[in-house]
A and B are shown apart, each in its own frame.
Chain A
Amino acid sequence: MKKLLNRVDDVVVESLAGLAAAHPCLVKLHPSVKAVLRADAPGDKVAVVSGGGSGHEPLHGGYVGYGMLDAACPGEVFTSPTPDQMYEAAKAVDGGKGVLFIVKNYTGDVMNFQMAADMLAGEGIAVEQVVVDDDVAVQDSLYTAGRRGVGGTVLIEKIVGAKAQAGGSLAEVKSLCERVNSQVRSMGMALTSCAVPAAGKPTFELGEDEMEIGIGIHGEPGRKRMKLKPAKEIVEMMAEAIVADLPFKAGDEVLAFLNGMGGTPQMELYLAYNDLANFLAGKGLKIARSLVGNYITSLEMQGFSITLLKLDEEMKALWDAPVETAGLRWGR
């Protein structure tokens, strides 16, 4: 396994320093904890804060900036950040209008954000949380930690960030966040494993002719392992599960998001998107907006995920609203 490293323990810190050095107009680093803050924070608006393990770049630090996140708290690779990070970051970007935490549904993230929320509430700062759980590969039941937060997180951060930028109140921003989460579904797959820098070797082994369906974004194994199939069949298998889950119905307007896991070339992502567009057309679903590229990754994993969001007029307008971050920018 080869990686671009100096010292393996400094991967996250040095990468954050690079992000800040590359985009000084957009972001700054918190002076005492690992957190990426909007360069002009705090603003006179609800502060939207997210975070999670590193290794999913551009999520979340690459989405800090105008019209999206006010702060992102990165943990070690694939490891939840700690409560002091969220606490300090929230205090640094709170402009008095309250703070919304967008939390991906993983046991560690939920616990750490909850602790930070308790600490902030104790100081009289208005803080709300929404837990994102869009992964249809995991059955939601009493006997699991619930569905994971995956690709839908990117769309939620963009749409909810735009609402906060437009002056939405904390209650409105939270309610929109819950609504988008309720209308978005995702599923991922892997052709290869990823390798956590500190572990120094692939997290799992996949045979040359195998793939893992329903993979998470941390290299955690998925729903099932099977023989590799043509892209069209893989896309249809995943999209079928997503469409059936909400369910999406003929005539629905959707945002179709085909996301790369980090190691798959754009050429293959667009090839898969073509299969997805054909499949959705066959189902009578109208793609009103689309996004294709590496937006929520799993280090160097090869593979992709599909996310579908059922759009309404407000979501469409907020999706189109200007955004200026390292990872997403248009209209400004």
Chain B
Amino acid sequence: MKLDIQGVIKALDAVGRSLAENKDYLTELDSAIGDADHGINMNRGFQKVHDRLTAGSYADLGAVLKDVGMTLMGSVGGASGPLYGTMFMKMSSRLAGREELDTPSLAEAVEEGLKGIVALGRANLQDKTMVDSLTPAVEALKRAASEGLPLEAALESAVEAARTGMESTIPLVARKGRASYLGERSAGHQDPGATSVFLILSAILETAREETA
């Protein structure tokens, strides 16, 4: 099973809806260890993405994700804007010329996106950041690709890996971003960025299920 251009746009709309529904939840997580704006900023960014994608017409997935990246970069702000913006820009470079998203191309693109995030934010695993949920998700996608799993099954394993990674941030002491100012006091809270990664992947999985059904 694959997602075509319209399918990917539907998935991104689903991401927008999920972030809108979870706006207060993400902001609450951010209040505990950050500055109480992650949900607000991500919601604003993905509403802009929705507007942009609705207005655009696209010949390939690269162009879709490039618009997503540029829109997030210009509307989210904070650290999440450049980080998510870079992620989608890097993904777009891997998906240029493609009209369908399958497991291998998704794995490749998300891995490229993760590399972009690490290069920009210089976060390592266990720094209590989005990298903690995105890295295991990339590993799961690569494994799924090597096992020849269809997109839906690949996304299922990526979502589960991201969930585990997200929950693993709870006891960690933050070493990057605003939460790092808290030192030991950042332990005991789930990282908002790791959580938004999980929510984004979950929304894409939902769309993949609907499209298959």
A112 touches B77 (CB 8 A): yes
- Within 8 Å CB of B182, what residues of A? 220-221
B79 touches A80 (CB 8 A): yes
- Within 8 Å CB of B58, what residues of A? none
B83 touches A111 (CB 8 A): yes
- Which residue of B has the minimal Cβ distance to A115? B82
The answer to the question of A45 belonging to the interface, with a C-beta cut-off of 8 Å to chain B, is no
A138 touches B181 (CB 8 A): yes
The answer to the question of B209 belonging to the interface, with a C-beta cut-off of 8 Å to chain A, is no
Q: A199-B27, A218-B35, A221-B182 known; A82 and B75 CB under 8 Å?
A: yes
B interface size (C-beta, 8 A):
33
The answer to the question of A83 belonging to the interface, with a C-beta cut-off of 8 Å to chain B, is yes
Q: A107-B176, A107-B178 known; A82 and B81 CB under 8 Å?
A: yes
- Within 8 Å CB of A112, what residues of B? 77, 81-82
Q: A111-B83, A112-B81, A220-B178 known; A144 and B36 CB under 8 Å?
A: no
Within A171-225, the residues touching B (CB, 8 Å) are: 196, 198-199, 203-204, 216, 218-222
Other-chain contact of B31, A80, A145, A204 (Cβ < 8 Å) = A204
CB 8 Å contact bits of B175-199 with A (1 = contact, 0 = none) = 1111011110100000000000000
- Within 8 Å CB of B181, what residues of A? 137-138, 144-145, 148, 216, 220, 222
- Within 8 Å CB of B77, what residues of A? 53, 75-76, 79-82, 108, 112
Interface residues of A (CB under 8 A from B): 53, 75-84, 106-108, 111-112, 115, 137-139, 142-145, 148, 196, 198-199, 203-204, 216, 218-222
Alpha-carbon gap, A84 to B82, bound state (A): 11
A111 touches B178 (CB 8 A): no
- Within 8 Å CB of B82, what residues of A? 83, 108, 111-112, 115
Alpha-carbon gap, A13 to B127, bound state (A): 35
CB 8 Å contact bits of B83-103 with A (1 = contact, 0 = none) = 100000000000000000000
Alpha-carbon gap, A89 to B75, bound state (A): 16
The answer to the question of B171 belonging to the interface, with a C-beta cut-off of 8 Å to chain A, is no
Can you list 18 A-B contacts with CB-CB less than 8 angstroms, sorted by A residue number?
A53-B77, A79-B77, A79-B78, A80-B78, A83-B74, A84-B73, A84-B74, A106-B79, A106-B178, A107-B177, A108-B77, A108-B82, A111-B82, A144-B180, A144-B183, A199-B36, A220-B178, A220-B181
